[in-house]
Amino acid sequence: MLDKLPLKSIVEKKRTAIKLHLGGGTGFTTVHPFFVRKLVEKVKAAGARGVFVTDTPWAVFSAHERGYSSETIGCPLVAATGSADKYFYTKPIKPPFKALKEVELAGEIVDAEALLDVSHVKGHGACGFGGASKNLSMGCVSGRTRGVIHSLEGGLDWNRRKCTHCGKCVRNCPNKAMSFNQKRELNIFFHNCKLCQHCSLICPHKAIRILGGAYRDFQHGMALATAKVLEGFEKKHRLFINFLTNITVYCDCWGMSGPAIVPDIGILAGQDICAIEQASLDMIRTEDLIPGTLPKGWKLRGHGHLFARIHSKDPLVVLEFLEKLKQGSRKYKVTEVM
């Protein structure tokens, strides 16, 4: 596949960043270092002026635990925003979207001249799925910007005055997404939250209400951040590679690995982020779900894409926003390489 791609025209004489999600903890379903090394070798052979693999500082610091090192992948591992998460360029969002008024783009990404976005496609509780867009929007910005984008998740409104801290919502949440902190404030872990309304219905004092649609705001924020990242690169100097292997329910940031929920599909590559994300999602089908691979107590709900039925968030929404932002087209044609 790499031999059939126009790597030379993408990276020749260019300082090339390979954006990779390095995972965390005992997560072992990230892109295998073997494939990263082969990509690095091909990029060097294509005449890149320099090549490095990059991710958030904390992911880089622990990357060796999952087999990533300069020796194994054949190039430097670089913290995208510097070792202290302070190397970034501030870019305004015009017009602002709710709390997202600007993004702090990773300095090492902005300084690069060619971008290879290498992503492991999997489910995600906050936005339905993680792929090429999430790899950029959440991995090419500062921790502060990532926090602002996550704050868009919303979804539940808790009324402290009405709450008696009886704990019924926490005990009866089927997805273990709720807890009270030491300040007796209700915390929602939106990665697990399915907006099933169980907490709202069971609360005897109506202290919780569902706002709804907030995951769309999160996806909108991701699309805006992705667009800002891509603005720094000419289209001819971008490449997106999606690994459709070890496709799990959980994001690699969880620091753990679950079983693959569908059989391995393959690896996709192209220069249009909307097309490759759409193709990836089209190939992950409900009818291919492997029995017994969902977490205990989980079941498919509703209709639509498999990830939507698992996480109750439509994964296609972010592509709608990206297309509106003129970042590409969801139309595609697949050329199979054996």
Question: Is residue 270 within a helix (H) or strand (E), and if so which, with residue range?
Answer: strand 266-270
Q: Are residues 28 and 169 in the same domain?
A: no
Confidence of residue 151 (pLDDT cuts 50, 70, 90): confident
* pLDDT at site 213: 58
On whether both 182 and 109 belong to a single domain, the answer is: no
Number of domains in the chain: 2
Do 164 and 252 fall into the same domain?
A: no
Q: Which of 169, 186, 210 is the last residue of a domain?
A: 210
Q: Report the mean per-residue pLDDT for the chain.
A: 94
Mean local confidence (pLDDT), 218-235: 97
pLDDT at 212 over 70: no
**Residue 61, domain extent:** 2-150+215-324
Residue 331 domain-assigned (yes or no): no
- Is 140:19 a contact under the CB 8 Å cutoff? yes
Residue 91 is predicted with a pLDDT of 97
Q: What is the mean pLDDT of residues 30-56?
A: 98
Question: How does DSSP classify residue 48?
Answer: B
Domain containing 274 — which CATH number? 3.40.50.11440
User: 7-11, 169-173, 219-223: which range is least confident on average?
Assistant: 169-173
Residue at 333 is within a domain: no
Q: What is the pLDDT of residue 265?
A: 98
pTM attached to this predicted model: 0.89
Q: What is the pLDDT of residue 215?
A: 85
Torsion from C-alpha of 188, 191, 194, 195, nearest 10 degrees: 40
Cα–Cα distance list, 31 to 141, 158, 304 (Å): 21, 39, 27
What value does the mean pLDDT take over residues 270-291? Answer: 98
Of 76-80, 210-214, 267-271, 300-304, the poorest mean pLDDT is in: 210-214
> Mean of the pLDDT values across residues 235-243?
98
Q: What's the pLDDT score for residue 129?
A: 94
Q: Give the chain's length.
A: 338
**Smallest Cα–Cα separation from 56: which of 135, 129, 130, 156?**
135
Q: Is residue 330 part of a domain?
A: no
Instruction: Give the pLDDT of residue 278.
Output: 98
* Mean pLDDT, rounded, for 248-258: 85
The residue assigned the tokens 């402290």 is 160
| pLDDT tens digits, 56-66 | 999 999 999 99
Pick the last residue of a domain from 184, 210, 236. Answer: 210
- Mean pLDDT across 242-257: 90
pLDDT single digits (tens) 154-208? 778 899 999 999 999 999 887 788 999 999 999 988 777 777 778 988 999 999 9
* Mean pLDDT of the 247-267 span: 91
| Residue 68 included in any domain | yes
Which run of H or E residues covers position 95? strand 88-97
What pLDDT score was predicted for residue 145? 94
